[in-house]
Amino acid sequence: MRVRAAPGLVAALALLLAACASPPPPASKLPERCLDRLATYDMDFAPAPDFSSGGCTVRNAVKVSRFGRAKLSSPALMTCALAEKLSAFEGVFLQPAAERILHSPVAVIHHYGTYACRQRTGGTQMSEHAKANAIDIGIFELANGDKVSVTRHWNGAGDKSEFLKSIGQGACTQFKGVLGPDSDKAHYDHFHLDMGTWAFCRLKFTDPRKR
């Protein structure tokens, strides 16, 4: 019979393992410019030119195709700040959780886009997507060929649900804004991760930053 650990114990173990992972170099030892810092990370990227279109402006952006051991399903345009956080998230939270819970690393991150010149869902202010400062992620494909879907596995009691809850909690410590299936109908099938002005974590557990 399989014995499942209590949620509090799982969270504690996740934070302990994250602390033991190999994070990016300390901030005091990193170059001052974001683009220079990206060169110190294990990722494939190319600088992108600044541009404005339809009232939306994108600055200090890069096009990324890989973070650590995980490729993106397609190259994605994003701000340097978002790329930097995604690189840290992949190494400190995503891969340790995949190895620990699912026993296979994440090989492909299937995303639903980064840049879109539009307003926020249900609002009048511009979305962080309008600045390429957000990414929507729906599926994590493992090296063993299995897939974890936000749509299918967020609500459940199995290992895949535990994995999504674990990385969701980790995301809330890395990114400024985190939305998901608990937020609203528009996010039923993906995580929205952004580096905007406001800090929020709209998933059904306590925001780790407020503990």
pLDDT band with cut points at 50, 70 and 90 for residue 17:
very low
In-domain check, residue 144:
yes
- What are 80's two structure tokens? 């340097």
In-domain check, residue 7:
no
93 near 170, Cβ under 8 Å? yes
Res 19 pLDDT > 50: no
Q: Which domain holds residue 54?
A: 31-210
Task: Supply the pTM of this predicted model.
Answer: 0.82
Question: Alpha-carbon distance 31 to 22, whole Å?
Answer: 18
In-domain check, residue 105:
yes
Ramachandran angles phi, psi of 118, nearest 5°: -155, 170
Q: What is the CATH number of the domain that holds 93?
A: 3.30.1380
pLDDT band with cut points at 50, 70 and 90 for residue 2:
very low
In-domain check, residue 16:
no
CB-based contacts of 50-59 (< 8 A; 24+ apart in sequence): 53/117, 54/117, 55/117, 55/126, 56/117, 56/126, 56/130, 56/131, 57/131, 58/115, 58/131, 58/132, 59/131
In-domain check, residue 193:
yes
Per-residue pLDDT of 96-108, as tens digits, reads 999 999 999 999 9
In-domain check, residue 17:
no
pLDDT of residue 195: 97
Report the number of distinct structural domains present in the chain.
Answer: 1
Using DSSP's 3-state secondary structure scheme, residue 164 falls into helix
In-domain check, residue 85:
yes
